[in-house]
A and B are shown apart, each in its own frame.
Chain A
Amino acid sequence: MTALADSAVPRLLRGVRVHWDAVRGTHVLLAPERVVRLDAVGHAVLSRLDGRCFGALVADLAATYAAPAAQIGADAGRFLTTLIERRMVEVDP
């Protein structure tokens, strides 16, 4: 699986949004014909898709959770790459 470049700017595609599912007590990602249940890490990543680049996103997560940036970058990159392949996230070149 290809890692995301630090300069890449990932964002949610139109028609894809994070939603608080009050009945099940979890955040979910709503997309065409899909519901993806988000864990705390997934939600932390997606709530930071606000126009910043991937490198800044990883640095923020590493600082917030006091975790090694290399590990965070690998996990977040894998998660976002999966969503890119499922046409839920796109990356500005």
Chain B
Amino acid sequence: MTLPPPMAMLAELTHRCPLACPYCSNPLALTPKGEELSTDDWARVFGEAARLGVLQLHLSGGEPLSRRDLPALVAAARGAGLYANLITSAIGLTEARLDALVEAGLDHVQLSLQGLGPAMADRIGGYAGGFAKKMDAARWIAARGVPLTLNAVMHRQNLADLDATIDLAVTLGARRVEVATVQFHGWAARNRAALMPTRDQARAAAATVAAARVRLRGRLVIDYVPADHHAAYPKACMGGWGSTGLNVTPEGLVLPCHAAQSIPHLTFWSVRDRGLAEIWTDSPAFAAYRGTDWMQEPCRSCDRRTVDWGGCRCQAMAMAGDAAATDPVCSKSPHHAALVAAAEADATAGDDIPFVYRAAV
């Protein structure tokens, strides 16, 4: 069977970021500015991605606005025929910079939201005045007619505000909201006790999202990433390893998912050494968990094996000690009871647990 090409690429342009969110999805070991790919490197990779079959390009970080060449990168993406999506905190955005990005062909902006109001948002982001800047940015984006997604990261400390957060997305003129419950990798794993939702919160959030989808049908598209530690079956991470998406780090390593470096035995090829098509097809890291041949029991004989693809490899590594094991989120995993017990313990750990903030680069 021929390998289908990827649909989407996440370009982590930089690990630099003014925020210090305690659930940052960047790895614990951050890449310094001097090791980042150049403008020309990225432009070449965007061209290779388009020829390989990538349609959607997510310009992310860190904070992509930390790159002074961001308009040139957007122009290169559009020139290659890619859909250019900017994932940003909006810290560092000005009206002049937004105009330059729009002029370069920016298709869509995804604006992160750490909380409903400055008290929550600025404490989570570790950046005073951040919330106000985000509200300014949302107005500038709406005024220019550029489609806006509000990316609301939810956890125990702000899930009570979920309904009001969805309403804020409507007020800001967003076309779409992403309700993303924190996934416990990297920095978030260090802050489990401060962030883990309770089982009741997870249940209430699902109901809130379902009701909002009905109420706001045709006005707001709602995508929802549930709290998977309270689920019976795991998420189909990346839609299946090496099946639909790839991730390029600031220094050019190509990963099957943004957390894949937490699997210690995998080695990742670099766009500095090889073309993207060769990496997609031949890289041992992509081949490692592609398809179903790598699976163990209970995945191997499970009728959901091509539904959830065994769940998350990084979570299996972290909690079962084996990246080829069934994701312990799955109720069929022998490690599931331990995962549930740990989640319950963290969810009830109390209200005054200090954050371990993400480090600066």
Chain A contact residues, CB within 8 Å of chain B = 13-17, 19, 21, 23-24, 28, 30-33, 35, 84-87
Contact = CB atoms under 8 A, between A and B. Distances in A.
Q: For A15, A16, A87, which residue has the most chain B Cβ atoms within 10 angstroms?
A: A15
15 contacts: A13-B175, A14-B147, A15-B108, A19-B55, A19-B81, A23-B53, A24-B53, A28-B55, A30-B83, A31-B147, A32-B110, A33-B56, A33-B85, A87-B175, A87-B219
B51 A23 contact: yes
Interface of B: 5, 7, 51-53, 55-56, 81, 83, 85, 107-108, 110, 145-147, 149, 175-176, 178, 217-221, 223
Contact of A35 (B52, B55, B223): B55
A51 to B, nearest CB: 17
Given A19-B55, A21-B55, A23-B52, A32 B176 contact: yes
B5 A32 contact: no
Contacts of B220: 87
Contacts of B221: 32, 86-87
A20 to B, nearest CB: 9
A35 B85 CA distance: 13
Contacts of B83: 19, 30
Nearest to B81: A19
Given A19-B55, A23-B5, A87-B175, A32 B218 contact: no
Given A23-B5, A85-B217, 16 more contacts: A13-B175, A15-B108, A15-B146, A17-B107, A19-B81, A21-B53, A30-B83, A32-B108, A33-B85, A33-B176, A33-B223, A35-B56, A84-B218, A85-B218, A87-B220, A87-B221
